[in-house]
Structure 1
Amino acid sequence: MTYLPTFDGPLTPASPLRETYLPNLRTTLVDATAAETIATLLAPGRRRVNFMNAHCFNVMARDRQYATAVNSADFLLPDGIGVALAAKMTGHDLTANLNGTDFIPKLLQEAAKMGKSVFLFGGTAGTADKAAAQLTQNIPTLIIAGTRDGFEQAQNDAEVIADINASGADIVLVALGVPMQELWLHRNAPYIDAELTMGVGAALDFFAGNVTRAPAWIRKAKCEWVWRLAQEPRRLAKRYLQGNFSFMARAAKRTASTLTPASVANRLLDITVAATALVLLSPLLALTALAIKVESKGPALFTQTRIGKNGRPFTMIKFRSMVSDAEAQRDSILAQSDREGICFKSKSDPRITRIGRFIRRASIDELPQILNVLRGQMSIVGPRPALPSEVDAYPKHAFGRLSVKPGITGVWQVSGRADVGFEQMIEMDLAYASSRSILLDLILIGMTFRAVLTGRGAH
């Protein structure tokens, strides 16, 4: 579950299919796994869907009619490394790249299990038929309700709509290319009986074998655009070379316009402190990892999903201070918590190793989070990063603590840590979020040394 800000103030649980507004792209993209997206798209109800890559955003920037068509769709799916990089500029690591050539066969496979049929519309003469033959070969139970090419058979909208509706198709894939397919759907989707309509670009050409996919290792390296450019340099050079550059430049410019002196100063402080600490503490980090490995089986580092700014999940890194199967044992010892409220803490937690007790007491177990800071997922100073299960149980006012990045240290950490109750911790975090400044962060960093030396609440 991801938590997104609402327009009326506090953060609240989002719908099963998450969406993220990206100011540098000026639109809202689906941010979910392929499986989550497919489940939502195939659920009862009418939906219009577009895939969005860098080229689509370039067309949006110069074609207002196309921009209107795109943003009127029910869901926009992120497609390509360019969109992922542009999202990352504003601190969003999109969950998945939902490019149509990989995503659509998965969607149709699930549709086939549900007995849903698909209509293929687009491509040159014969392309839709070849794509249909290949899809049914790969998915034998898939029902092809009908096909129609995107040239001679696409001249009359009324005829196309009548053909699609007569077929009884549940899903319509429109492959007319950008921007024609989005404009066509914006104009005609309300008159189509199918529940799901999608603009799919060149997908039918790939399914038909007209265009060859890049080898798996190139796709894994997120360089399929290079393969496509090598195949069709004359047609794609402007789109991929000039287009990708202009898209990234425009995204960077818009991102820069949203930055404030305070946010830049905070990030510079994070990078400076984290990089310096990584260099100076590297011998201690190495010795700690060795000690953990000597005492017990399992990796020296422990990773866990935590909830970051604006409810974004991220993988937090710590030194392992417990036995390797600690997570499996957690439910059985929840009743032993020494702390009231949602967050579990126990001084006598049987899962903690001897080395683990020492590194917890000295706060050494938290040091690998320096890497989370350098990645931009955490700050040096901020609220404690919460577990998803804890956030699921938050009272409404507690979501306000997710409005800033979680930190390695903070008000709660220097005020007693586990000795501080849940409600008091929330009040501390909300106060910090509303009044954070460089001066406050420097004071809290200084107070952290005292907290580490006293070890209060560290267990």
Structure 2
Amino acid sequence: MNATAQLARLHDVRPAPAPKALSRIRLFGLDIVDATTDAVITRLLQPGRRTRLAFLNAHCGNIAARNPTYRDALVTAGMILPDGIGVEMAARMSGQSLTENLNGTDFTPRLLQAAARRGLSVFLLGGQPGVAAEAAERLGRDIPGLKIAGTRDGYDGMTDENAAVAAVNASGADILLVALGVPFQDNWLAKHEARLSPRITMGVGALLDFLAGRVKRAPAIVRKARAEWAWRLAMEPRRMARRYLIGNFAFLGRAYLDARAQRPAGDTARRVFDVTVSAAALIILAPILLLTALAIRLESGGPVLFRQTRVGKDGTPFTMLKFRSMYPDAEARRAALLATSDREGICFKSRNDPRITRVGRILRRLSIDELAQILNVLKGDMSIVGPRPALPEEVAAYPERAMGRLEVKPGLTGLWQVSGRAEIGFDKMIDMDLAYIRSRSLLLDTLLLALTARAVIGGRGAY
């Protein structure tokens, strides 16, 4: 029995188990951490552990594709954390998923809070003159007990790289945050890794500018909607247009090719089609989605999104999303309105439904309320094209023939949706769905997607 085990036995306790290795997924030939913020922080702060940390977002992926030095810096990093919705989309294209978005702007303060509780210190390197010092003051106010070992700007302070390394080491810092932009910050850290003494080193991009108040971060509602990139584009259109408008599409194209390489044939092509189209729609329609959310909140308060259990492929229930077009108590009033349905058969639909708000009528007329289901498509519960997702009570009342529509994922649009929607009775809808399932192909899906625009403009059956 070794000394540690003997001591533990004397005190009637067991030695603490070693932390488990973090799960990872493979994207673009890189190993990306798939874990929660708390799990990553616990791993990073494990005594005696040294780690060079990097983040991967769509912009980083595009640069890595054309900059071998930067790609090497990512490959040799101790951890690569997923940053942003683009990387999440790339994972879904390849049939994988990520537990959490670990973007540096949110992750780093959490890391520093945990570091402060352990008495660890941080050095801030980068930014324009004065930015690092202002960011340090902000961190000192926001995180009581955090030790600031030192600061140095990214201009005159980086003219002599040896002096910069010496200053960091002399400070005795445990954590080094470098804000020099991609790819320079990660290349610099990789180049000097063996000489730097901090146990955790990481490139943090614009974080110091955010902390110093030099750049305004998106409001919480925008960040929650995963549209912070749209906010930055609006704030700095000339500087960010190429990165986001062109760069995001380029990244999704690379993700598509990477997914094909990892998962050839079968349903992969349809999944890639779904994620590619929905991701592109999310980028293009971001301003409309944000304005819709604002209009709903201003008119009736309550949640922006309406969540409802629907039945998916093989009868599996899932939570379907819509932009809320009714008053918050709409579900409680539904039973009293069933007799007013304007539609034959099982599925309820009322042209003059009193539960619909004024904004909601506009959203329904233009089918904007359905756009929230883009998130369902990205998650994998729905496809871009397929049968309408049914309610559990509707499925419970299905005749046997109608059960065939559950053989595929429900769709955001489809044959029924482009042929008149609510004006089509239940039996005819089933005929259409079964005909689609027998004949479905990516070519047919593309045609139906094109016809959807005409159906939306015409507005037939939209109420």
C-alpha distance after superposition, 1:377-435 (max 9, x if no partner)? xxxxxxxxxxxxxxxxxxxxxxxxxxxxxxxxxxxxxxxxxxxxxxxxxxxxxxxxxxx
Residue 161 of structure 1: aligned partner:
165
Q: Deviations over 1:293-341 (max 9, x none)?
A: xxxxxxxxxxxxxxxxxxxxx999xxxxxxxxxxxxxxxxxxxxxxxxx
Match of 1:340 in 2: none
Q: Which residue of 2 aligns with 1:34?
A: 37
Q: Say whether the 8 Å CA contact 2:19–2:43 is kept in structure 1.
A: no
| Aligned counterparts of 2:240 and 2:269: Cα–Cα separation in 1 | 41
Q: How many angstroms apart in 2 are the aligned matches of 1:275 and 1:113?
A: 46
Q: How many residues were matched structurally?
A: 270
Shift of 1:266: 11
Which SS does the other structure have where 1:50 is aligned? strand
Q: Structure 1 vs Structure 2: percent identity of aligned residues?
A: 48
> 2:111 — aligned with what?
107
Q: Deviations over 1:119-138 (max 9, x none)?
A: 00000000000000000000
CA distance in 2, matches of 1:267, 1:49: 31
User: Partner of 2:182: helix, strand, or coil?
Assistant: coil
Report the secondary structure of 1:121's partner residue. strand
- Structure with the larger RCO, 1 or 2 (CA within 8 Å, 6+ apart): 1
1:367-382 superposed matches below 5 A = 374=409
Secondary structure of 2:194 counterpart: helix
Equivalent residues of 2:94, 2:258 under 8 A apart: no
Q: Give the aligned partner of residue 183 of structure 1.
A: 187
| Deviation (angstroms), 1:189 | 1.7
Supply the distance in 2 between the matched residues of 1:241 and 1:139 (Cα, whole angstroms).
Answer: 36
The 8 Å contact of residues 33 and 81 in structure 2, kept in 1 or not, is answered as: yes
Aligned residues of 1:118 and 1:170 also touching (Cα < 8 A):
yes
Which amino acid in the other structure matches residue 194 of structure 2?
A: P
How far apart are residue 262 of structure 1 and its match?
4.6
Partner of 2:63: 59
Tell me the SS of whatever aligns to 2:202: strand
1:245 maps to 249
Q: Distance in 2 between matches of 1:265 and 1:53?
A: 24
C-alpha RMSD of matched pairs (Å) = 2.9
Gaps of 5+ in 2: 1-17, 273-310, 317-378, 382-395, 397-402, 411-463
Offset of 1:42 from its aligned partner? 1.2
Deviation, 1:93, is 1.5
1:134 match: 138
CA distance in 2 between counterparts of 1:192 and 1:154 reads: 15
TM-superposed CA distance for 1:155, in Å, is 1.1
Indicate if the aligned counterparts of 2:35 and 2:100 stay in contact, CA closer than 8 A: yes
Aligned to 1:48: 52
Q: CA deviation at 1:16?
A: 2.4
1:194 lines up with 2:202 in the alignment: no
TM normalised by structure 1 equals 0.55
User: Would you identify which runs of 4 or more consecutive aligned residues in structure 1 move more than 4 Å?
Assistant: 262-268, 274-279
AA in 1 matched with 2:42: A
Residue type of the alignment partner of 1:110: A
Structure 1 237/315 Cα, relative in aligned 2: closer, same or farther at 3 Å?
closer
Q: Distance in 1 between matches of 2:141 and 2:252?
A: 39
Which residue of structure 1 aligns with residue 298 of structure 2?
Answer: none
SS at match of 1:194: coil
Is the CA contact (8 Å cut-off) linking 2:210 and 2:216 kept in structure 1?
yes
